[in-house]
């Protein structure tokens, strides 16, 4: 194996007639040739043998029952769903065989939508690689470090880091320190980008300088190598006689990258009230509708919470987006119990959710007004999507699904006191509410700024 870089190949044209070192030039495009320049993503790879040199693809018979992009067969349910940690098998299972699709929407073939997978792995991939023709994969390790051999070089990632491998890039996953588990967000359209910062300004959230791409790494090795190809959710394999990690040099802007989530700079309220969770967006894959994401990757990192007169945990809500959450480590601020590292939850659009009973009662206590640091050892994340996912039958029938999840809210009791008055106001205050009484605005407020007090 070698890690040698040749002199820069910037002199000759990208597709030179005869490349330096006798290499083959090969372009990998991540978009249509004709997209606007700002959206253009492509790289040139200079390799010992081209990637086309392989035997025909044949369908691969594993693990089709758990890895899918066919969501027409998925289950429709508005219920709040939660899974206990996904079990890591005892037998040797590599990254690809350990992929388990939880939910998804749209179509890999029609290029819309996404899929959410969990992976568990106990073995490194040996003389095999995966190329995903369906979309980009954002991999979120939860347990165990991974070493990704890619056509572009080597990326090592550990829990609290993420890696993005774009559509079509061949990669192999080795385990760095034992059994591994994590989450994958796959998008069937577009690519992940950094969110706009708007009034936040030039700094804050994820900084471009912290995203790392590999340098070229190659091996010139003859072997029986298996190239796996995921195409419309199905796996195919082709044999070739050499390692595909034979790219001696590359240039371009279509390349895998990693990001250390501890480099994320959270922005939050410093006086009162609770920003929406989009304030913690690390990466976004935008749809064709401005401001609407196919999928956002959002984290809930350790941070100070200081807002006063504010219910600090995530508020109770219903919304048009769908929220798949996972926990990398620690204890999530809205759930004191049951949401565990390696597990997951799914709240579908317009299904109500929010903090559990224990969290609510703690958050409304007087002590909760003090500045506090939210879990130095906690890191939760959310895949937030605009298209409504269906849950795979395998995920809904999984032995680790928490069928008692709804009970975490059952204990939320009424605190309504119709005799309540603002603090410091005694009998001189307005009369307490009576049945059928309320306060209505004198005139219609402007759209989007309504305030109302219910009559009952
Ligand atoms: Fe939510």
Query: Cα(354) to centroid of ligand 1, in Å?
Result: 7
Query: Cα(384) to centroid of ligand 1, in Å?
Result: 9
List binding-site positions. Answer: 317, 323, 332, 353
Q: What is the pLDDT of residues 201-236, one digit of tens each?
A: 999 999 999 999 999 999 999 999 999 999 999 999
Beta bridge partners of 257: 164
> What is the pLDDT, as a whole number, of residue 182?
98
In this structure, are residues 18 and 44 in contact, taking their beta carbons and an 8 Å threshold? no
**Residue 414 forms part of a structural domain:** no
Q: What is the pLDDT of residues 113-153, one digit of tens each?
A: 999 999 999 999 999 999 999 999 999 999 999 999 999 99
Q: What is the pLDDT of residues 418-449, one digit of tens each?
A: 999 887 776 666 666 777 666 565 555 555 55
**Mean per-residue pLDDT of the chain:** 91
Specify whether 92 is located in the same domain as 211: yes
Of residues 408 and 432, more confidence is placed in: 408
Q: Is 229 a catalytic site residue?
A: no
**Could you say which of 361, 387, 405 is where a domain stops?**
405
**Residue 453 forms part of a structural domain:** no
**Residue 176 forms part of a structural domain:** yes
> What is the pLDDT, as a whole number, of residue 425?
75
Tell me the residue length of the chain: 456
Is residue 455 pLDDT above 70, yes or no? no
**Could you say which of 386, 405, 424 is where a domain stops?**
405
**Residue 230 forms part of a structural domain:** yes
Separation of alpha carbons 134 and 137, rounded Å: 9
Specify whether 321 is located in the same domain as 237: no
Helix (H, G, I), strand (E, B) or coil at 73: helix
Query: Cα(78) to centroid of ligand 1, in Å?
Result: 14
In this structure, are residues 98 and 120 in contact, taking their beta carbons and an 8 Å threshold? yes
Separation of alpha carbons 101 and 115, rounded Å: 7
The torsion region of residue 273 among left (phi > 0), alpha (psi -120 to 50) and beta comes to left
Specify whether 89 is located in the same domain as 229: yes
Three-state SS across 96-115?
A: CCCEEEEEEEEECCCCEEEE
Task: Show the tokens assigned to 151.
Answer: 């056509």
Specify whether 157 is located in the same domain as 239: yes
**Residue 9 forms part of a structural domain:** no
Beta bridge partners of 236: 59, 229
Helix (H, G, I), strand (E, B) or coil at 38: helix
Query: Cα(242) to centroid of ligand 1, in Å?
Result: 47
CA separation, residue 449 to residues 88, 275, 279, 311, 445 (Å): 50, 17, 22, 21, 6
Q: What is the pLDDT of residues 358-403, one digit of tens each?
A: 999 989 987 778 899 988 889 999 999 999 999 999 999 999 999 9
Separation of alpha carbons 74 and 184, rounded Å: 18
CA separation, residue 121 to residues 98, 100, 221, 258 (Å): 6, 11, 25, 20
Query: Cα(34) to centroid of ligand 1, in Å?
Result: 38
**Residue 5 forms part of a structural domain:** no
Of residues 17 and 64, more confidence is placed in: 17
Specify whether 102 is located in the same domain as 226: yes
Task: Show the tokens assigned to 83.
Answer: 């899974």
For the CA atoms of 364, 318, 414, 427, the dihedral, rounded to the nearest 10 degrees, stands at: 70
Query: Cα(135) to centroid of ligand 1, in Å?
Result: 25
Specify whether 397 is located in the same domain as 331: yes
Domain count, the chain: 2
Query: Quick one: which of 255, 147, 260 has its CA closest to 209?
Result: 260
Task: Give pairs for 31-39: CB < 8 Å, separation 24+.
Answer: 31/191
Task: Show the tokens assigned to 289.
Answer: 């509708």
Is residue 283 pLDDT above 60, yes or no? yes
Separation of alpha carbons 183 and 294, rounded Å: 17
The torsion region of residue 154 among left (phi > 0), alpha (psi -120 to 50) and beta comes to beta
pTM of the predicted model as reported, rounded to 2 decimal places: 0.93
In this structure, are residues 277 and 298 in contact, taking their beta carbons and an 8 Å threshold? yes
CATH number of the domain to which 296 belongs? 2.60.120.10
Specify whether 227 is located in the same domain as 293: no
List binding-site positions for Fe cation. Answer: 317, 323, 353
Task: Show the tokens assigned to 391.
Answer: 């849950």
**Could you say which of 233, 261, 289 is where a domain stops?**
261
Query: Cα(424) to centroid of ligand 1, in Å?
Result: 35
> What is the pLDDT, as a whole number, of residue 113?
97
Specify whether 284 is located in the same domain as 185: no
Specify whether 129 is located in the same domain as 220: yes
> What backbone torsions phi and psi does residue 38 show, to the nearest 5 degrees?
-65, -20
Specify whether 178 is located in the same domain as 303: no
Looking at residue 383, the DSSP 8-state letter turns out to be E
**Residue 42 forms part of a structural domain:** no
**Residue-by-residue DSSP string for 302-325:** SEEE--SSS--SPPPB--SSEEEE
Specify whether 222 is located in the same domain as 323: no
Specify whether 200 is located in the same domain as 267: no
Looking at residue 25, the DSSP 8-state letter turns out to be E
**Residue 172 forms part of a structural domain:** yes
Q: What is the pLDDT of residues 234-256, one digit of tens each?
A: 999 999 999 999 999 999 999 99
> What is the pLDDT, as a whole number, of residue 3?
45
Separation of alpha carbons 258 and 241, rounded Å: 30
Q: What is the mean pLDDT of residues 45-71?
A: 90
Domain that holds residue 348: 263-405
Cα angle, residue 32 at apex, residues 29 and 34 outer, rounded to 5°: 120
Query: Cα(323) to centroid of ligand 1, in Å?
Result: 6
Catalytic residue among 54, 191, 274, 309: 274
């Amino acid at each position: 194996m070698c890690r040698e870089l040749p002199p820069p190949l910037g002199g000759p044209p990208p597709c030179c007639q005869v490349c330096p070192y006798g290499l083959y030039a090969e372009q990998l495009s991540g978009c249509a040739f004709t997209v606007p320049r700002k959206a253009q993503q492509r790289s040139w790879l200079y390799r010992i043998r081209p990637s086309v040199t392989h035997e025909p693809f044949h369908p691969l018979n594993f693990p089709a029952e758990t890895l899918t992009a066919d969501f027409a067969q998925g289950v429709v349910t508005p219920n709040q769903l939660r899974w206990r940690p996904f079990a890591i098998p005892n037998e040797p299972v590599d990254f690809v065989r350990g992929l388990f699709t939880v939910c998804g929407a749209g179509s890999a073939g029609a290029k819309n939508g996404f899929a959410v997978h969990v992976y568990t792995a106990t073995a490194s991939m040996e003389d095999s690689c995966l190329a995903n023709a369906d979309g980009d994969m954002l991999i979120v390790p939860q347990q165990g470090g991974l070493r990704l051999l890619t056509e572009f070089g080597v990326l090592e990632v550990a829990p609290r880091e993420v890696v993005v491998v774009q559509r079509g890039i061949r990669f192999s996953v080795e385990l760095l320190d034992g059994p591994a588990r994590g989450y994958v967000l796959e998008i069937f359209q577009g690519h992940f980008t950094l969110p706009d910062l708007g009034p936040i300004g030039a700094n804050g959230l994820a900084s471009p300088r912290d995203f790392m791409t590999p340098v070229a790494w190659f091996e010139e090795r003859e072997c029986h190598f298996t190239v796996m190809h995921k195409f419309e959710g199905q796996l195919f394999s082709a044999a070739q006689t050499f390692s595909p990690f034979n790219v001696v040099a590359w240039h371009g802007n279509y390349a895998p990258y990693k990001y250390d989530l501890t480099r994320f700079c959270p922005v939050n309220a410093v006086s009162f009230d609770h920003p929406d969770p989009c304030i913690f967006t690390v990466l976004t894959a935008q749809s064709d509708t401005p401001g609407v994401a196919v999928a956002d990757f959002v984290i809930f990192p350790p941070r100070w919470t200081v807002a006063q007169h504010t219910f600090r945990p995530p508020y109770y809500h219903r919304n048009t987006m769908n929220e798949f959450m996972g926990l990398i480590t620690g204890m999530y601020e809205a759930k004191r119990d049951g949401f565990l590292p390696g597990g997951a939850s799914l709240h579908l659009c317009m299904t109500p959710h929010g903090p559990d009973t224990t969290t609510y009662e703690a958050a409304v206590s007087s002590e909760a007004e003090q500045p506090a640091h939210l879990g130095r050892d906690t890191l939760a994340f959310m895949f937030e999507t605009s298209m409504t996912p269906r849950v795979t039958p395998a995920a809904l029938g999984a032995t680790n699904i928490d069928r008692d999840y709804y009970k975490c809210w059952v204990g939320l009791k009424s605190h309504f006191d119709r005799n309540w008055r603002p603090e410091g106001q005694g009998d001189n205050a307005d009369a307490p509410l009576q049945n059928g009484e309320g306060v209505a605005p004198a005139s219609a407020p402007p759209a989007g700024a309504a305030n109302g007090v219910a009559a009952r």
